[in-house]
Amino acid sequence: MSQLPEQSARTSVPTSADVARAAGVSRATVSYVLNDNTTVRISDATRRRVRAAAFDLGYVPHAAARSLRAGHSRMVLLPATRLPAGLLQRRFFTDLQSDLRRLDYTVVQYGSAGLDPDEAVRAWAELRPVAVVAPAGVPLTPHGIGMLTRSGAKAVITLGPQPVEGAHALVLDQRVVGGSAVRHLLARGRRRIGVVMPQEPGLALFSEPRLAGALQAAEACAGARVRRLPLRYEETSATELAARWRTLGLDSVFAYDDEYAMLLMRALQDAGVEVPAETAVVGAGDLMLGRLLRPRLSSVSMELATAQPPAEMIDRLVRNPGGAPERHDLLRARTVARESG
Amino acid sequence: MSQLPEQSARTSVPTSADVARAAGVSRATVSYVLNDNTTVRISDATRRRVRAAAFDLGYVPHAAARSLRAGHSRMVLLPATRLPAGLLQRRFFTDLQSDLRRLDYTVVQYGSAGLDPDEAVRAWAELRPVAVVAPAGVPLTPHGIGMLTRSGAKAVITLGPQPVEGAHALVLDQRVVGGSAVRHLLARGRRRIGVVMPQEPGLALFSEPRLAGALQAAEACAGARVRRLPLRYEETSATELAARWRTLGLDSVFAYDDEYAMLLMRALQDAGVEVPAETAVVGAGDLMLGRLLRPRLSSVSMELATAQPPAEMIDRLVRNPGGAPERHDLLRARTVARESG
DNA sequence: TTGAAAGCGTTACCAT
DNA sequence: ATGGTAACGCTTTCAA
């Protein structure tokens, strides 16, 4: 008979109403106690009873219900890309995440692999984030920015090589990388400079600006020439390139990054091209890897210069929305000279 | 006078009620039309009017309200770790994400850096995910699993070196990696085997099982001995280790992975220790990197063998909850012999 | 010090 | 074929 007590046999999850019932108070009181609401005085005895009941039932508030009632969330959305994130970006995200949490935001990374731009931005907007930080490679259009703003996002921020119309921008201008490498080579008397262009899809986002920076830097020097060198991240591709190296008439190469540099340098050495005597090689990323090569690899070292921590910037934009798009250049590059050129 | 029409000048985001008003129908009808509800017949004219109104207003449904009403979400939560994710894990996540999307789940990665286990699991539970996939390194305890289950998660799945009591497990048993390397070395007559143990925090999760697998494999051979070799990912640390190499009396080393292998091999060569003549070196990960070294690096190649795609497994567990914890071993390892040992 | 009730945006049931 | 209405879980205003 007593097998189905009125409100037991609950297979579902406990709500604040369950806590109220268990503690013998109203739902309002439960809310007051659990949110430490100071505008209302609750007796210590009641407080304890409510807390105990919540603990016993394993009560956990329902974030969706809460933000629905509140009319806003504190979710910062980070649409993910499927690009292989570099060390720099990973560190950036990790830091951003902890900093935002410290400011009481909830950071949510949302994978949008294989959605077309409209579907993707719609999916983000459904979550009603208070801010969106979109790394390079996610399909964010001015139209998408409008949709996010209209659905309540107080700040839309792009993070990558170039800004998008209408959004704030944390710009990682990859041109400074190519520029630094080429200036380094020019200073050492090199004039006929190759620039490796990875053929892997997705990397064009980074390699094209690096090349652009290289070209720009070369313009400052009369006799300098820059040549584009397509390369796949495979030994065969590097071997091919090395085999026709001498026909190219280059005295140096900026190899996109340290990994492509290692690949190419190995192939050049195997083909009998001396590094740096005949051809100087410069990578980028300043990985441990480069220091272990022989000759040690010269490399463009990158870092993010943040006047104001990005998390604070986001917080400021959220509290004070509607301003003109801000733009901050974050990427700094400096070439570390080692033995390879 | 007509500057403030009754329901215009809306600064807030449009709701389905706004769409209904604009189309001159009820909220229910809007819901029917936009969700393509087939159990109810709506005239084509009405359909078009509703769709047009939704489009004009830029209406986007509110995910929180929807899942509140529905009583459940289709969110799969992926608590993120701050560990440097390897290529294998990254590929795994990317695939999992697209596969789950195809099954109409929403995959959300949630950063829990710097939260203690209880706070973290509570934060996850507040989101009411339908499933949680926890990679190695996130603080998931049996108690936490209980909390997630009680707050509605239909499936909790761990992904990593070892299962956690009470959750389903996709096991990446790192012991097979050390085992494969050591069996490879034993087969080539090596007997006194060093195993590199990275000192970077967080890697112990992987290095300890790899060592355990190495020890286990060595037991099969009478004269074999395994020795633990602490190493930081720095040149100085490798140089130190190489300097006292001959006092260790080892004829081979399993270097944890290809990057540590490169670091150590370089230091050994600089110290005059011949590879592989005097000491054989085996890495893991089978990176391009290893093929470029001289001698070419032997390496443990890893892959994930999935009888059933993990996304389908998750879907099955969600639809059919309450079963006994499942356990699937995913990691396969096989040593690729090259020149280093 | 506490409780009743309204409302956030949706959807499903039951009338019309 | 369409509309009214209640309910999801929570917070907050107002009243007691």
Dump pLDDT digits (tens) for A271-293.
Answer: 999 999 999 999 999 999 999 99
Report whether A267 contacts A235 (CB < 8 A).
yes
Does A108 sit within 8 Å of B101, measured CB to CB? no
Taking CA atoms, what residue in A is nearest to B127? A63
Phi/psi of residue B252, nearest 5 degrees: -170, 160
Does B108 sit within 8 Å of A58, measured CB to CB? no
Dump pLDDT digits (tens) for B37-74.
Answer: 888 888 888 999 999 999 999 999 999 999 999 999 99
Report d(CA A88, CA A221) in Å as an integer.
31
pLDDT of residue A111: 82
The amino acid occupying position A131 is A
| Residue B61, CB, strand C, below 7 Å | yes
Residue nearest to nucleotide C13 (CA to C1'): B28
The shortest C-alpha distance from A276 to chain B (Å) reads 18
Taking CA atoms, what residue in A is nearest to B12? A152
pLDDT of residue B139: 87
Query: Which residue in B64, B90, B111 is closest to A67 by CB distance?
Result: B64
Structure tokens at B42: 């709506």
Pairs of residues, one from chain A and one from chain B, whose beta carbons lie less than 8 Å apart = 136
Between the CA of residue B258 and those of A289, A336, B180, B243, B287, what are the distances in Å? 11, 25, 15, 21, 7
Q: How confident is the model at residue B315 (pLDDT cuts 50, 70, 90)?
A: very high
CA→C1' distance for A64 and D5 (Å)? 23
Q: How confident is the model at residue A84 (pLDDT cuts 50, 70, 90)?
A: low
CA→C1' distance for A31 and D14 (Å)? 16
Query: Which residue in A126, A233, A288 is closest to B63 by CB distance?
Result: A126
| Residue B34, CB, strand D, below 7 Å | no
Report whether B273 contacts B288 (CB < 8 A).
no
pLDDT of residue A178: 98
Query: Which residue in B68, B107, B110 is closest to A65 by CB distance?
Result: B68
pLDDT of residue A38: 86
Task: Tell which strand C nucleotides have any atom below 7 Å from a protein Cβ.
Answer: 1-14
Comparison of pLDDT for A193 and B83, the residue scoring more: A193
Angle at A331 between CA A74 and CA A157, to 5 degrees: 25
CA→C1' distance for A70 and C5 (Å)? 17
CA→C1' distance for B253 and C16 (Å)? 82
**pTM for the whole thing?**
0.91
CA→C1' distance for A64 and D4 (Å)? 26
Interface-testing mutation among A16, A56, A62, with chain B (most B C-beta atoms within 10 A): A62
Dump pLDDT digits (tens) for B242-300.
Answer: 999 999 999 999 999 999 999 999 999 999 999 999 999 999 999 999 999 999 999 99
Query: Which residue in B60, B109, B150 is closest to A126 by CB distance?
Result: B60
Does B107 sit within 8 Å of A114, measured CB to CB? no
Dump pLDDT digits (tens) for B147-201.
Answer: 999 999 999 999 998 899 999 999 999 999 999 999 999 999 999 999 999 999 8
Residue A217 has pLDDT above 80, yes or no: yes
A58 Cβ neighbours under 8 A, 6+ residues apart: A14, B146, B147, B150, B151
Report d(CA B173, CA B216) in Å as an integer.
13
pLDDT of residue B116: 87
The helix or strand, by DSSP H or E, that contains position B106, with its residue range, turns out to be strand B106-111
| Residue B158, CB, strand D, below 7 Å | no
Dump pLDDT digits (tens) for A86-126.
Answer: 788 888 988 999 999 999 999 999 887 778 889 999 999 99
| Residue A150, CB, strand C, below 7 Å | no
B201-209's contacts with Cβ under 8 Å and 24+ in sequence apart are B202/B82, B202/B83, B202/B84, B202/B137, B203/B256, B205/B83, B205/B136, B205/B137, B205/B160, B205/B161, B206/B136, B206/B161, B206/B174, B207/B256, B209/B161, B209/B162, B209/B173, B209/B174, B209/B175, B209/B178
